[in-house]
C-alpha cells in the first residue's frame, strides 16, 4: 500500500518538508494501545516508539501522536522498528476532556474527514448525548453524519419518531438509518466512502461499530467460520436480550477498506466532557446562536433577562426547551473546564518559574 492510499496528499507533504529532517521518512499512525504505536510507512506497518526528545518537548498529551496522525520516523533494526521524531500539523482532530476529575485534554484521533456518530435505536438513543458528540466533532473541523443502527429492533413508526425527535431538536446533520442484520442502509453508507479519505466511528459500547466495519469491508465471517482472504474481521459478540451489544474494541486503530476508504475504529466512550469547544457549540447550536443575536442584551444568559429572543422562541414552541437546557448546560460545563484548565496551566508555569529561580544547592564537599 502506497502512502497516498493512506490519505497522504500535498497538504501533508508540504508540512513534512518543513518539519521532517532529510534522513527521516513519513508514516501514518495506524494504532495506539497502552502507549505503544503502529505506524504504516513506505515499507509497511511496524511498531514504533517516541524519541526521548519528542516526549520532552511535548507541551501536553495533545502534542503526542494519536491514531490518524502523520509523523516523521526513522526506521531501525532492519526496518522492523521505528522511532517517531515529530508529529505533523493536523488538519482536523477529535478531543475531549479526560475522564474523571482531572481537567485536561485527551486526544482521540486526527486527520478525519467524516465522523459517523452512531446511536442504536433500541437502547442507546439519546438526543442530548448526540448533541455532545456533534459539538466534539464540529469543534475538530470534521463533518458529522448520524447513523441510527439496529433498526430491525424497532417498527417503522418508531424509527420515524426517532428521526423526528432528532430533527425537532434542531439537529441538521445527515441521518442514515441502517441494520447490520438485514443490511438496510449499508449501501447508503458505502456511497459516502471515498478512497483516500478518513472516516471514524463514534458511539457508546455495543452499538454495532465493529460489526458495521465488518459489513462495510465485506468481512463478516460466513456460516462455516472461514473469512474471505484478506478480509477485515473485527471481533464481535452477540447482543443481549435488550438488543445491546457487548463491548469488543479495545484499541484505536485505522483500517483500510477494500474500496480504498480509511476507517478508524475506537472503544466506546462513556464520558464526553466539554473543554475548549466554543466553535463546536456555536456550530451545533446555530439556531440558538442566531436567535441570541436578537436578544436585547449582548451578554444575555437566556435566563431571566428581559427581551430574551431565545426564551421567547421557546415560549412560542419554535425552539425545543430541552435543546436550550442542554445548550446552557454544555456552555456552563465548557466555561468551567476552560477556566480550570487555564488556571492549572498558569499555576504550572508559575511553579516552573519559581523552580528555575531557586539557586542550585552546592552539593560538592569542601576540600
* Residue reference for cell 425552539: 319
Per-residue pLDDT tens digits for 123-140: 789 898 899 889 889 988
Quick one: pLDDT band at residue 339, thresholds 50, 70, 90? low
The β-bridge partners of 175 are 146
Domains and CATH numbers, the chain: 3-87 (2.40.50.140), 93-265 (3.40.50.300), 278-356 (1.10.40.50)
- DSSP annotation of 220 reads -
- Whether 367 has a pLDDT exceeding 50, the answer reads no
For residue 57, what pLDDT is reported? Answer: 83
DSSP notation for 38-66: EEEETTEEEEEEE-HHHHHH--SGGGS--
- Whether 209 has a pLDDT exceeding 50, the answer reads yes
Residues in contact with 245: Cβ distance below 8 Å, sequence separation at least 6, in sequence order? 120, 205, 206, 207, 208, 211, 236, 237, 238, 239
DSSP H helices, 246-320, are 278-284, 286-292, 309-315
- The CA distance from 199 to 192, in Å, is 10
Quick one: pLDDT band at residue 341, thresholds 50, 70, 90? low
Residues in contact with 31: Cβ distance below 8 Å, sequence separation at least 6, in sequence order? 37, 38, 67, 251, 252, 253, 254
For residue 250, what pLDDT is reported? Answer: 55
- Higher pLDDT pick, 341 / 279: 279
Q: What is the three-class DSSP state of 28?
A: strand
Calculate the alpha carbon distances from 358 to 228, 346, 348, 352, 355 in Å. Answer: 66, 19, 16, 10, 6
- Whether 360 has a pLDDT exceeding 60, the answer reads no
Candidates 236, 208, 191; CA nearest to 119 is 208
Please check whether residue 269 is in contact with residue 130, taking contact to mean a CB–CB distance below 8 angstroms.
no
Name the strand (E) or helix (H) holding 340. Answer: helix 321-357
- The CA distance from 38 to 30, in Å, is 6
Quick one: pLDDT band at residue 346, thresholds 50, 70, 90? low
- The CA distance from 256 to 248, in Å, is 19
* Residue reference for cell 503502529: 38
18-27, 45-54, 245-254, 321-330: least confident range? 245-254
For residue 98, what pLDDT is reported? Answer: 64
For residue 187, what pLDDT is reported? Answer: 94
Per-residue pLDDT tens digits for 1-42: 889 999 999 999 999 999 999 999 999 999 998 778 999 998
Amino acid at each position: 500500500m502506497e502512502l497516498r492510499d493512506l490519505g497522504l496528499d500535498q497538504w501533508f507533504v508540504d508540512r513534512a518538508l518543513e518539519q521532517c529532517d532529510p534522513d527521516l521518512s513519513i508514516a501514518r499512525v495506524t494504532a495506539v494501545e497502552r502507549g505503544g504505536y503502529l505506524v504504516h510507512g513506505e515499507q509497511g506497518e511496524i511498531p514504533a516508539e517516541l524519541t526521548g526528545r519528542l516526549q520532552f518537548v511535548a507541551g501536553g498529551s495533545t502534542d503526542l501522536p494519536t491514531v490518524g496522525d502523520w509523523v516523521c520516523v526513522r526506521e531501525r533494526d532492519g526496518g522492523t522498528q521505528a522511532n517517531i521524531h515529530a508529529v505533523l500539523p493536523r488538519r482536523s482532530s477529535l478531543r475531549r476532556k479526560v475522564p474523571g476529575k482531572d481537567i485536561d485534554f485527551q486526544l482521540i484521533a486526527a486527520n478525519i474527514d467524516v465522523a459517523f456518530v452512531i446511536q442504536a435505536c433500541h437502547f442507546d438513543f439519546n438526543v442530548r448525548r448526540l448533541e455532545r458528540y456533534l459539538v466534539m466533532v464540529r469543534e475538530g473541523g470534521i463533518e458529522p453524519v448520524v447513523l441510527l443502527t439496529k433498526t430491525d429492533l424497532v417498527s417503522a413508526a418508531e424509527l420515524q419518531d426517532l428521526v423526528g425527535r432528532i430533527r425537532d431538536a434542531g439537529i441538521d446533520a445527515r441521518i442514515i438509518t441502517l441494520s447490520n442484520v438485514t443490511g438496510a442502509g449499508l449501501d447508503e453508507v458505502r456511497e459516502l466512502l471515498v478512497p483516500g479519505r478518513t472516516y471514524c466511528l463514534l458511539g457508546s459500547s455495543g452499538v454495532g461499530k465493529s460489526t458495521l466495519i465488518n459489513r462495510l469491508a465485506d468481512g463478516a465471517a460466513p456460516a462455516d467460520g472461514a473469512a474471505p482472504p484478506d478480509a477485515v474481521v473485527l471481533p464481535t459478540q452477540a447482543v443481549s436480550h435488550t438488543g445491546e451489544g457487548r463491548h469488543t474494541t479495545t484499541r484505536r486503530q485505522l483500517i483500510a477498506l477494500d474500496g480504498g476508504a480509511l476507517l478508524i475504529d475506537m472503544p466506546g466512550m462513556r464520558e464526553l466532557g466539554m473543554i475548549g469547544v466554543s466553535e463546536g457549540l456555536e456550530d451545533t447550536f446555530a439556531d440558538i446562536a442566531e436567535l441570541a443575536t436578537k436578544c436585547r442584551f449582548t451578554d444575555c444568559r437566556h435566563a431571566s433577562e428581559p427581551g430574551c429572543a431565545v426564551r421567547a422562541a421557546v415560549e412560542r414552541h419554535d425552539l425545543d426547551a430541552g435543546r436550550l437546557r442542554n445548550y446552557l448546560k454544555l456552555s456552563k460545563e465548557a466555561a468551567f473546564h476552560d477556566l480550570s484548565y487555564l488556571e492549572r496551566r498558569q499555576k504550572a508555569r508559575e511553579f516552573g518559574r519559581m523552580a528555575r529561580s531557586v539557586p542550585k544547592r552546592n552539593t560538592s564537599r569542601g576540600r
